[in-house]
Amino acid sequence: MRLPPVIAPLAAAGAVAALAVGALTGGVAAASPAAAAASGYTWGNVEIGGGGFVPGIIYNQGEPGLVYARTDIGGAYRMDTATRRWVPLLDHVGWDEWSYTGVLSLATDAVDPDRVYAAVGTYTNEWDPLNGAVLRSSDRGETWQRTVLPFKVGGNMPGRGMGERLQIDPNDNRVLYLGTESGNGLWRSTDRGVTWAKVASFPNAGNYAQDPTSDNSYVTQNQGVVWVTFDPTSGSPGTRTSTIYVGVADKENGVYRSTDAGVTWQRVPGQPTGFLPHKGVYDAQGGQLYIATSDTGGPYDGAKGQVARLDARTGTWTDISPLPLTSEELHYGFSGLTIDRQDPDTIMVASQVSWWPDVVFYRSTDRGATWSRIWDWDGYPARTLRYTMDYSATPWITMGATSANEPEPLVKLGWMTESLEIDPFDSDAMMYGTGATVWGTDNLTDWDTGGRIDLTIRARGIEETAVLDLAAPPGPVELYSGLGDIGGFVHEDIGEVPRSIYTQPVHGSVSGVDFAQSKPATVVRVGHAVGGAVESHIAVSTSSGASWWAGQEPAGVTSSGTVAMAADGGRIVWSPQGTGVHVSTTLGSSWTPSTGVPAGAQVESDRVNPTTFYAYAAGRFYTSTDGGTSFTASPATGFPTEGNVRYGAVPGHEGHVWLAAENGLYRSTDAGATFTRVPGFEDGGAVGFGKAAPGASYPAIYTTSLREGVRGFFRSVDGGSSWVRINDDEHQYAWTGAAITGDPDVFGRVYVGTNGRGIVVGSSDGTTPTPSATPTPTATPTPAPTPTPAPTSTPTPTPTASATPTQSPTAGPTATPTPTPGPTAPPATSCTVRYTANGWTTGFTAGVRITNDGTTSLDGWTLRLTYDGGQRLEQGWSATWSQSGSVVTATNAAWNGNLAPGASVDVGFNGTHTGTAAAPVTATLNGSACTLS
C-alpha cells in the first residue's frame, strides 16, 4: 500500500541510535503465473524466464522446500514447491518507491517459517531519492510491513553478491542483524524488525570501495558489513545466540566475532588477510567457520582469492583453497560458498569470477582437504565435464549462438555465480543464480561417484528484464520487445518462452522497435552492444521477425537511439546517437539526412499516412509530411524540456497523437499542430493503444500516469472522455514509464514495460469498472502547462545484472528517454588516461580512467587505445566498445558523455592476449593524444 512512513524520533541511548517506524502494510500477488486484481483485470507476465542477475538464493533452515530468491532490480520471489515456479513478492511497490525493488539481502525464519524479511533499496548514491528499508512479512511475503532506515541501501551497487547481510538469530527469532553499506555499520532489531538500532560496539564499518578516487559515485561507496552468521549451539531456544560472526569489507580485518550475544566484538585472530570475505558459513556440527574471499567486491570481477576454515574450538585457521595463490590457473577469487547440512564434510565453492571459458565449481567431501572441479581440461581446447545441461525451459540462453566456440561452451554454466546453495534437507538438490538465470540439479551426489549431475534451468516465474520499448502488431505475432542486456524477442505466443533473442544481427540492448501498421510483417529495430561491438545498430525484417538483415548506417552512428517505420513500410526514419535524424527509402540500405529536426530527437510514425512522421526534442514537437525528408516545429509549447516523454500515433486515425510527459497527458488531432492537455493528468508516464471496445470506433487508450493524485494504469474506451484505473495497489510494478501498449487483436489486453520485472500483461475479465468522466477541454494551439521540476537524472551505472558478461545495468527510471549525442566535431582535448589491468594466462581485465585536463567541457568523447601485443577485446562496460585491428575504441554511454574540466570517468573491458597483458602504447581522446600512465 502507498502509505507515508511514520518515523519516530531517533532516540539516543548512550551511543546507540534507534529508529522506529509504524507498520505499513502492502499486499502482493500470491497466485502464479497470473494474479487477479480488484480492478477487473488479471495480471501476469509475458513469459521470458529470468533475464537478470540473481545474487541470492536463500533456503529456510527449518522447513523443507521453502526457498526464496532475491534480485538486484527486480524484487524478491518465493518458490512454489508444487509447480517449481517462483512467485513474485514485491509487485505492490509503486512508481515513487521504485528503489524498493532492489533487494540487498533476504532472511527467512527457521523458527517461524511464515516470517520473512528483506533489506531493500537500489542505490546508495545520488541516483536514488529514497532511504532504504527493511520489509517484514508474517505470511511468507503475501503482505508486508515496512521500517524505513535512516540511510540508503544498495541492492544494485557493487558488492551486492556478498552476504547474506540480513540474518535472524536461530535461537531468539526476535533478534535480527543487518550489515549495511556506506559506513553505517552493523544494525540490530530485537522486536522482529519493527525497530532498529546501530550496534555501537561493533568496531569496523568497512573501508573497501571499488574505486574510492573515482568521480563516478557508483564505485566510490564503502561496501560495508557484508555478512552475518551464527553458531546456533552457543544458545538455546528463546535465548540469544552468544557466538556471532560478522564479515566486513576490509582486506586486513575481515572477520569479527562476539561471544556475548553482540555486546562486545573482537577481530578473529589469525584470519587470512589481503582479500575480502564474500561469504561466511558456519557448520554447527563440526564447529567450523568457512569463508570464501576475493580481491574485489564483485560481482563482475575478481582475480585472486582464498577459501579458509576456522576451527572455532582451537582458533586455528587453515587455508583450504582449491588452488594456491601462486597457481597460474588462479585468475579469479571465490564466492558461492555452501555446506551440505545433511553431510557437513561436503562443501562447495564457486569461482569469482571466471568469464573464460566458464565458471568453475569446486566440491570437497573432506572439509576442503581435497577438491574436484565441475570441469577439467582434457588437452586444450577439449574439456571433460561432470555435468549435463538442459536449457529447454529457456532456449534463448544460447544468446543467438548456434554452436560452441571451444573451449567456451554453447551454453555456459554461468557468470556472477555468487549464490550457490545446497538444499539443507536434500544433499542431491542444489540451485545457483547467475547473471541471467537460475540453474538447479536433483542428483548432486552423483558427482562424488564419477557420474554427471543434471542441470536444468529453474527460473520459471522470475522475470527480471528491463523494458526499453514494445510494439504489438496485428496478426500472428503478439508482441515485439526491446529489452536491456538481452536484446529482445519476437513473441509469437506470450505464454511461451521465446526460442531465441534477436539475431542477424544480435543487439545487446534494443532501444527501439516498430512495424508498418498496414504491412505488419515489415519490422525495424535498433540496438547497441553491451560489450564489444555490433555488426550494425539497425536491423530490418519483412517476415515478421522470422529473419532479419543488418541495415547500413549513416556516418557517425555511435549508438541506437529511436526508430520509426512508415505506415506502409516504405520508409524508415532513424534518430541514432552520434549523428542526426536520417530517412531511408530502401529499407535501411541507404540514408539521407533529415532537415529541420534536432539530432537525438525521439521519432514516431503516423499509423495511417505513410508520409507523416513525428519527432520530439527538448520541449518541442516536430512534424514531417514529406516522408521524413524535412520536419517543421509545431507552434505548441509548454512541454517539459527534459525528463521522461513518451508519445505515439493512434492506429486508424490519421494525425491523432497522444503525448505523455512529466507535466501531464496531451492529445493532438491535427498531426501535432496543436495539442490539448487532458484534464486530471498530473504526470503522464507512457501512452499506447489497443483494440477498441465492442461497439466503439476509437482504439482503447492506455497510460501509466498520475491522475487526480493516484498513480496507476488507466484505460479509456471513448477517446479520452472518461477513464478507469485497471490495476490496483497490489499490482504496481514500480517504475513503468518506458512503454505501454494495448493488444490490437484482443480488447482489454495491455502490455506494460517495467524496469526489472519484465513485461507485465493485463487481461480484462469482462467487467467494466465505473469510469470517471473527463471534462471537455478547450483546445489551444499553444498550451502552456505548468512544468513540474525536472527529476533527478538516474543514469545507468557501471555494469549490472546481465545475460551476457560485463553488461551495463539498468538503473532506476531514466530521466532522458533519448541519449544526448556527442558533438559532430569534438574540440581538441588535453587528457590523461590511467590504465590498470589484471592478467592471467590468456586474458585480462582492464580498468581505464579518462581525465579531462583541458579548460572546456567535453559533450561526448571517444577513446582509442592502440596495442602492439595481439590483445583482443571481448566485452566492456560503461561505454560502447569496438575494435579495428590493433585499436580498441570506447565511445561514451548516454550517462557519462559530459566531462567537465578536471573531471574523470571510469570504464573497463575484458580481453584476451597471446603473450602478455601489456598496456596500450598510445591513447587518444577525440583524436588528441593523451598522457598514458
Indicate the pairing of strand 276-283 with strand 288-294.
antiparallel
Clarify whether 72 is annotated catalytic: yes
Tens digit of each residue's pLDDT (9 = 90 or more) over 114-139:
999 999 999 999 999 999 999 999 99
**pLDDT band of 844, cuts 50, 70, 90:** confident
Cβ proximity of 58 and 70 under 8 Å = yes
Of these residues, 485, 683, 729, 743, which one is catalytic? 485
CA 738-740-741 angle, 5° bins: 145
Residue 31 has pLDDT above 50, yes or no: no
Which entry of 72, 231, 358, 743 is annotated as an active-site residue?
72
CB-based contacts of 555-560 (< 8 A; 24+ apart in sequence):
555/579, 556/824, 558/821, 558/822, 558/862, 558/880, 558/891, 559/511, 559/528, 559/819, 559/880, 559/891, 559/894, 560/507, 560/509, 560/510, 560/511, 560/512, 560/526, 560/527, 560/528
Confidence of residue 676 (pLDDT cuts 50, 70, 90): very high
Q: In terms of pLDDT, which residue wins out, 16 or 609?
A: 609
Residue 574 banded pLDDT, cuts 50, 70, 90:
very high
Mean per-residue pLDDT over the chain, rounded: 89
Of 22-26, 291-295, 368-372, 485-489, the one with minimum mean pLDDT is 22-26
The band of 773, judged by pLDDT with boundaries at 50, 70 and 90, is low
Q: Say whether pLDDT at 825 is over 80.
A: no
State the average pLDDT over residues 361-387.
97
The per-residue b/e assignment along 486-510, b for 16 or more CB within 10 angstroms, e otherwise, is bbbbbbeebeebbebbbbebbbbbb
Highest mean pLDDT among 705-719, 759-773, 846-860: 705-719
Q: How far apart are CA 464 and CA 552, in angstroms?
A: 32
For 883, residues 6+ apart whose C-beta sits below 8 A from its C-beta are 532, 533, 872, 873, 889
pLDDT at 355: 95
Percent of the chain with pLDDT over 90: 80
At 306-351, the pLDDT tens digits run: 999 999 999 999 999 999 999 999 999 999 999 999 999 999 999 9
Report which of residues 168 and 868 the model is more confident about: 168
Rounded Cα distance, 668 and 358, in Å: 54
824 pLDDT band, cuts 50/70/90, is: very low
Check if the beta carbon of residue 920 is closer than 8 Å to that of residue 866.
yes
Tell me the pLDDT tens digit for each residue of 875-923: 777 788 888 888 899 988 766 888 888 888 888 887 888 777 789 999 9
Q: Please state the rounded mean pLDDT for residues 590-612.
A: 98
Among candidates 484, 397, 399, 395, which has minimal Cα distance to 753? 484
pLDDT digits (tens, 9 = 90+) for 235-281: 999 999 999 999 999 999 999 999 999 999 999 999 999 999 999 99
Give the pLDDT confidence of 696-745 residue by residue, as tens digits: 999 999 999 999 999 999 999 999 999 999 999 999 999 999 999 999 99
Which of 287-291, 797-801, 885-889 has the highest mean predicted lDDT (pLDDT)?
287-291
pLDDT surpassing 60 at residue 801: no
DSSP state of 807: B
CA–CA separation, 602 and 560 (whole Å)? 11
Q: What pLDDT, on a 0 to 100 scale, did the predictor assign at position 847?
A: 83
Task: Report pLDDT for 879.
Answer: 82
pLDDT band at 828 (very low <50, low <70, confident <90, very high): very low
* Res. 681: pLDDT tops 70: yes
Task: Give the pLDDT confidence of 637-668 residue by residue, as tens digits.
Answer: 999 999 999 999 999 999 999 999 999 999 99
Side-chain half-sphere of 322: how many Cα atoms within 13 Å?
27
413 pLDDT higher than 60:
yes
Q: Can you tell me the mean pLDDT for 398-408? A: 95
**What are 65's three cell numbers?**
522446500
State the pLDDT confidence band at 38, using cuts at 50, 70 and 90. Answer: low
**What would the mean pLDDT of 18-27 be, rounded to a whole number?**
35
| DSSP letter for each residue of 145-191 | EEEE-SS---TTSTTTTS---EEE-SS-TT-EEEE-STT--EEEESS
Q: State the pLDDT at residue 698.
A: 98
Beta-carbon contacts of 170 under 8 Å, excluding residues fewer than 6 positions away, are 61, 110, 111, 230, 232, 235, 241
The answer to which of 178-192, 709-723, 842-856 has the lowest mean pLDDT is 842-856
806: left (phi over 0), alpha (psi -120 to 50) or beta: left
Among residues of the chain, what percentage have pLDDT more than 70? 89
Quote the pLDDT of residue 840: 65
Instruction: Indicate whether this model's pTM tops 0.75.
Output: yes
Whether the pLDDT of residue 778 is over 50: the answer is no
What is the CA angle 246-249-254, rounded to 5? 55
For residue 772, what pLDDT is reported? 62
User: Does residue 787 carry a pLDDT above 50?
Assistant: no
Report the C-alpha gap between 857 and 654 in whole angstroms: 44
Q: Looking at the predicted structure, is the pLDDT value of residue 802 above 70?
A: no
Predicted confidence at residue 677, as pLDDT, reads 97
Residues 917, 840: Cα–Cα separation, whole Å: 8
Asked whether the predicted pLDDT for residue 872 surpasses 50, the reply is: yes
Amino acid at 587: L
pLDDT at 918: 87
- Alpha helix ranges (H) inside 439-559: none
252 in the Ramachandran plot: left (φ > 0), alpha (ψ -120 to 50) or beta?
A: alpha
- Inform me whether the pLDDT recorded for 814 exceeds 50: no
